């Protein structure tokens, strides 16, 4: 039987352990906004702990029911970065992720919060891992201006797609059905599917051409999607962006419109649209 003293100690330890393992106070800087971790902690307690957990380890009470698993802020591996693979994202990257949410996951857009609140949350998230103090954010990738869209650029992008063996995971038509697709797992050993271009939909890390460029140049850390920054030249990367847009046959992009205006492209796009109809809902698996 426990003595009252032991009970008090137990209660104290329980509460101490329950409190987030917060490092030194952090700040975030996004444009003119300065976020403060103290305020961010209150917001985190209100909005985030159910999935990300009190300790920020992605082990909230809902984690068992959430697919993909909530982000683990302690390991500080982030999918959406403007920085090189393996490095920490910038404050803007985290801010944008909170604002945008993650499509096809349980993480919604928090655009309804004020900019200051999102900046405060960024500051608090940075308290979970000591890496923010020891390493700091990586250097953002420089993205050159997008060149003019041409049929030649799309064709060259198709060659890059083949050269990088993107089809191994994404499939020849970007249908998420490459030979490796079914075997992929993320850093949590959870099954993960490659992005299915054929049904369109927002990318997890943004929706613009620049975002798409950034995604394959920096990689998606914690997933099998590597960084191609060392093997792809900027002009090739833009060609690839233009080609990947033509795989999104349900999106009305300028790239798809141009591609459909060619004899070859029109036939391919039409065939893909018919295939989409046959596959039913076209929802991303």
Partner 1 sequence: MHVWETEATQRKRFWLTSSLLCGFLTLAFLLADARPAFALPLVTLKVHAIPAFARKYGMPCSSCHEAWPKLSPFGQSFKDNGYQMGNDRDAPIFQSPAYWPVTFRITPIWHRESLGRVLVDGPGGPNSTETRVTTHGFDWSGLDFHTAGTLAKNVSFYVLPSADSTGAFHFEAVWARLDNLLGSSWLNIKLGKFELDNLLSEKRILTLSTYGGLYQNYHFQPATESTYAFGIGDNQVGVEWMGHSKNDRTRISAALLNSNDGQPNFTATNGTEDLTTGRAYNGFFSASQAFEAGSLGLQRVGGFAFLGQAPTYFQYNSGGIPLAIPGTGVGNKGYYRAGLIGMWYVKKLDFTTIYFHGWDSAFLGTGTRAIDPLPTGAKAPTWNGGLIETHYNLNPQWMLLNRVETVRMTRQALPIDPTMPFIAGTSVPSSDFGNIDVATFGFRYYPFISSRAGFAFHNEFSILRQKRVSSLGNDQTNSSALFGFDFAF
The residues of the shown chain that bind partner 1, judged by CB under 8 A, are 14-15, 17-20, 39, 42, 45-47, 49-51, 53-55, 59-62, 65-66, 101-117, 201-202, 281, 283-284
As measured in angstroms, the least distance from the Cβ of 236 to partner 1 is 30
110: tokens are 């928090």
Report d(CA 33, CA 126) in Å as an integer.
16
Peptide bond into 68 cis (omega under 30): yes
For residue 104, the minimal CB distance to partner 1 (Å) is 5
The CB-of-199 to partner 1 minimum distance in angstroms stands at: 9
Q: Return the DSSP state at 102.
A: -
Buried b (16+ CB within 10 A) or exposed e, 117-150: bbbbbbbbbbbbbebbeeeebbebbebeeeeebe
Please say whether the beta carbons of 269 and 249 come within 8 A.
Answer: yes
Identify which of residues 121 and 237 has a Cβ nearer to partner 1 in the complex. 121
Q: Which is nearer to partner 1, 47 or 262 (CB)?
A: 47
- Closest distance of CB 50 from partner 1, Å: 4
Q: Which is nearer to partner 1, 110 or 132 (by Cβ)?
A: 110
Least distance in Å: CB of 215 to partner 1? Answer: 17
Q: Going by C-beta distance under 8 Å and a sequence separation of 6 or more, which residues neighbour residue 145? A: none
Nearer to partner 1, 17 or 271 (CB): 17
Distance of CA 280 to the CA centre of its chain: 27
Give whichever of 152 and 190 is closer to partner 1, judged by the CB atom: 190
Largest Cα span, the chain: 84
């Amino acid at each position: 039987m426990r003595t009252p003293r032991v009970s008090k100690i137990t209660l104290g330890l329980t509460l101490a352990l329950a409190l987030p393992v917060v490092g030194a106070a952090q700040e975030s800087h996004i444009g003119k906004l300065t976020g403060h971790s103290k305020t961010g902690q209150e917001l985190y307690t209100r909005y985030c702990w159910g999935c990300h957990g009190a300790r920020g380890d992605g082990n909230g009470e809902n984690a068992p029911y959430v697919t993909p698993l909530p982000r683990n802020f302690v390991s500080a591996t982030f999918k959406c970065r403007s920085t090189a693979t393996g490095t920490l994202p910038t404050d803007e990257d985290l801010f944008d992720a909170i604002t945008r949410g993650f499509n096809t996951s349980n993480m919604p857009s928090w655009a309804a919060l004020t900019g200051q609140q999102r900046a405060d949350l960024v500051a608090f998230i940075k308290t979970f891992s000591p890496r923010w103090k020891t390493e700091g954010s990586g250097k953002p990738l420089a993205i050159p201006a997008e060149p003019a869209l041409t049929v030649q650029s799309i064709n060259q992008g198709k060659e890059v797609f083949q050269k990088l063996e993107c089809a191994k995971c994404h499939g020849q038509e970007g249908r998420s059905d490459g030979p490796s697709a079914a075997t992929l797992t993320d850093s949590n050993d959870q099954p993960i599917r490659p992005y299915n271009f054929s049904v369109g939909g927002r990318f997890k890390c943004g929706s613009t051409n620049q975002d798409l460029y950034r995604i394959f140049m920096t990689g998606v850390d914690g997933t099998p999607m590597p960084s191609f920054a060392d093997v792809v030249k900027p002009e090739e990367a833009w060609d690839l962006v233009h080609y990947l847009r033509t795989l999104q046959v349900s999106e009305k992009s300028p790239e798809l419109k141009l591609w459909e205006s060619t004899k070859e492209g029109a036939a391919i796009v039409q065939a893909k649209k018919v295939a989409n109809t046959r596959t039913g809902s076209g929802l991303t698996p």
